[in-house]
Amino acid sequence: MIDATEARERVVEAADRLFYARGVQAVGMDAVRAEAGVSLKRIYALFPSKDDLVVAVLHGRRAQWNAGIAASAADAASARDRILAIFDFLDAWFRRPDFHGCAFINVFGELSGGAPGVARVVREQKEAFGEYVAQLVRDAGAPDSLAPQIAILAEGAQTTAAIGDDPEAAAQARAAAATLIDAALAA
């Protein structure tokens, strides 16, 4: 018998794969059970509701996002390059065969009206990303007004890449961000 930690990890990983590929509402808990190899009784002991499981999946996605952004920025020589590294991360992500858009945006679109806990986690992620970009903008010596512009470019690139099945959205957003950064620093 697997311990609670391993069972939790297996359920969250299985739910993440299924929810991301098919959508939360299209995936029943029995599918999660089959994918994870954990009984429904154990799943509900770990996650009293499907919304609780969605929140756990989103916390895992946040960790993946943060790690990916940090890895992309690790070799950047300047604050400007760290900002542009966001779009390099997006470019690599958009080209993955399993890319289905931003899990946070997808889940928010599906559940936000009836799942306040899920909506809260999505908003927290988007706010945290905005704060990350704001810190990079401050580090670059650019005006604060640049930060939401950069964040919107990143968010828009995610949506455009997913809906249009166009990984080039990252490069286009990166070029726009470079123009905005250079104009802001020259002012």
pLDDT at 1 over 80: no
Single-letter amino acid code for the residue at 23: G
Go through the domains of the chain in sequence order and give each one's CATH number: 1-48 (1.10.10), 61-186 (1.10.357.10)
> Residue 34's pLDDT is what?
97
Is 78 buried (19+), middle (13-18) or exposed (0-12) by CB count in 10 A? exposed
Confidence band of 137 (pLDDT split at 50, 70, 90): very high
The size of the chain, in residues, is 187
**DSSP for the chain, written as a single string:** ---HHHHHHHHHHHHHHHHHHH-STT--HHHHHHHHT--HHHHHHH-SSHHHHHHHHHHHHHHHHHHHHHHHHTT-SSHHHHHHHHHHHHHHHHTSTT--S-HHHHHHHHHGGG-HHHHHHHHHHHHHHHHHHHHHHHHHT--TTHHHHHHHHHHHHHHHHHHHT-TTHHHHHHHHHHHHHHHHHH-
Please enumerate in sequence order all residues whose Cβ is within 8 A of that of 82, keeping only pairs 6 or more positions apart, or say none.
73, 76, 136, 139
Supply the pTM of this predicted model: 0.93
The span from the CA of 81 to the CA of 85, in Å, is 6
> Residue 103's pLDDT is what?
96
> Residue 66's pLDDT is what?
96
pLDDT at 6 over 90: yes
Q: What tens digit of pLDDT does each residue of 77-119 get?
A: 999 999 999 999 999 999 999 999 999 999 999 987 789 999 9
> Residue 82's pLDDT is what?
97
Q: What tens digit of pLDDT does each residue of 140-163 get?
A: 999 999 999 999 999 999 999 999
Q: What tens digit of pLDDT does each residue of 26-79 get?
A: 999 999 999 999 999 999 999 999 999 999 999 999 999 999 999 999 999 999
Q: Which two tokens stand for residue 56?
A: 């756990």
> Residue 136's pLDDT is what?
97
Q: Which two tokens stand for residue 113?
A: 């009206």
